[in-house]
Amino acid sequence: MAQAAVLQAHHLSKVYGEGAHTVQVLNDVSIAVKPAEKLAIIGASGSGKSTLLHILAGLDPASAGEVYVGDVCLSHASPQQLNELRNQQLGFIYQFHHLLAEFSALDNVAMPLRIRGMAKPLAQECAREILDAVGLSSRADHRPAALSGGERQRVAVARALVTRPSCVLADEPTGNLDADSADRVFDLMMNLAEKYKTAFVIVTHDPLRAARCDRVLKLNHGVLEES
């Protein structure tokens, strides 16, 4: 029997503006992400890829349509339920790492577990394990300023995975990196998706990297279609 989707959206639309000055960014978009699936979303700059990702994460409301994480409908969830759902079921990786400058790599990775209420020693133990998985155990005590761009993004990958989410949403996760670092980070995401059986939805402008995913969808004039 087929497994239920970990993340799905039905007939999403997103419109900005009012009256005669509206812009429709998404038009009747539906998507279902299977457990452990690696899904790439491509499209021209400004096509609405990031908007779609933010709606899937519950960070931006759709103008119409519904998003489900597991069997929970985001539009029917309270703010507290949304926060808990994002902490427990979803991971996020952005183009810019968004690490907290005053904290070490270890404490940055442990942060989602501390927010969940986990005791500091156990949270740090889990964080060390995932930092080891991304090859940064020796850099655990360094703050972001002491890390290279590629290392900072690998810490961001570790932070996204430390809660063992069912799905990670990655918005141009290699966009700020040089070619070698970008390859290393993308390879890492592919390997960790397999290791932890975590679904990944990756927005990228790079068709070669997208082709390494299980499925590629293209956002074109607000419409999501098989590439």
The answer to whether residue 1 is domain-embedded is: no
The torsion defined by the Cα of 25, 7, 130 and 127, in degrees rounded to 10, comes to 90
Predicted pLDDT at 125:
92
Model pTM score: 0.88
Q: How many domains does the chain have?
A: 1
Compute CA 17 distance to the chain's CA centroid, rounded to the nearest angstrom.
27
Q: What CATH number did the domain enclosing 218 receive?
A: 3.40.50.300
Q: What's the domain range around 212?
A: 7-226
CA gyration radius, the chain: 17
Find out whether 131 and 106 touch, Cβ atoms under 8 Å.
yes
Asked, for residue 59, whether it belongs to a domain, the answer is yes
Q: What percent of the chain has pLDDT over 90?
A: 28
What whole-number distance in Å separates Cα of residue 19 and Cα of residue 69?
A: 32
pLDDT confidence of residue 1? 40
Low-confidence ranges of the chain (pLDDT < 50): 1
Q: Is residue 2 part of a domain?
A: no
